[in-house]
Chain A
Amino acid sequence: AQTVTQSQPEMSVQEAETVTLSCTYDTSESDYYLFWYKQPPSRQMILVIRQEAYKQQNATENRFSVNFQKAAKSFSLKISDSQLGDAAMYFCAYQTNAGKSTFGDGTTLTVKP
């Protein structure tokens, strides 16, 4: 079975600074997908960024980028120029190509003004 580990239950960052959230996973599959989702307090979970395992190039979405290390089974999220609106719980998720998703425990990110 696949497992997803987020080793940082809580992180904090100063506004305008950069923070990296870690995620590791375990799988025997070679073809899969990885996601970071964001769940703001009392608001709906939304997608931040996605990565296909067959792509070597790291995904980037504006201030959000990933460091995908397939051999190490690592998928960290870097948030640059952090903003107050980035405060949320962030979930790393692994998805098989049959649509089965496994989520990590989440990392609560606090942004300090």
Chain B
Amino acid sequence: ETGVTQTPRHLVMGMTNKKSLKCEQHLGHNAMYWYKQSAKKPLELMFVYSLEERVENNSVPSRFSPECPNSSHLFLHLHTLQPEDSALYLCASSQGVTDPYEQYFGPGTRLTVT
């Protein structure tokens, strides 16, 4: 595996379910990100982790709970979601958060909340 991988690629869940999205980066990077990409909105930054510490929480509802157990893995735990949470969730990583480090994106998880 190379780059940034995300599983699952597609997820359908009910509003009362609990599920988790997984992201893994094989690039030796120190920073990881979660973004939400909706059809009618720009890419929204949700969380930023640097060296496994959360450095940015962009006013995301508590029904989204991130976890970064190590610098290679990032999870997004989901519970009691709403239909408006349906979107493409993108994970990204970068060498660090300072300086103009480019972000490497995963393919995304297409989430549908029914």
Contact = CB atoms under 8 A, between A and B. Distances in A.
A44 B105 contact: yes
Contacts of A33: 99-100
Interface SS majority for chain A:
strand
Contacts of B4: 44
A86 interface: no
A28 interface: no
Question: Chain A, interface size: which category?
Answer: 20 to 34
A66 interface: no
A105 B42 contact: yes
A99 B42 contact: no
A99 B105 contact: no
B42 A106 contact: yes
Contact of B98 (A47, A52, A99, A102): A99
Interface string B13-36: 000000000000000000101000
B43 A98 contact: no
A45 B105 contact: yes
B42 A4 contact: yes
A12 interface: no
A76 B102 CA distance: 18
Interface string A74-113: 0000000000000000010101011111111110000000
A98 B94 CA distance: 13
3 cross-chain pairs, A with B, having the tightest CB-CB distances, nearest first: A99-B97, A103-B43, A33-B100
Interface of A: 4, 33, 35, 37, 43-47, 50, 52, 91, 93, 95, 97-106
Interface of B: 3-4, 31, 33, 41-45, 48, 50, 55-56, 90, 92, 94, 96-100, 102-103, 105-108
11 contacts: A33-B100, A35-B100, A44-B4, A45-B105, A52-B100, A91-B43, A101-B45, A102-B45, A103-B44, A104-B42, A105-B42
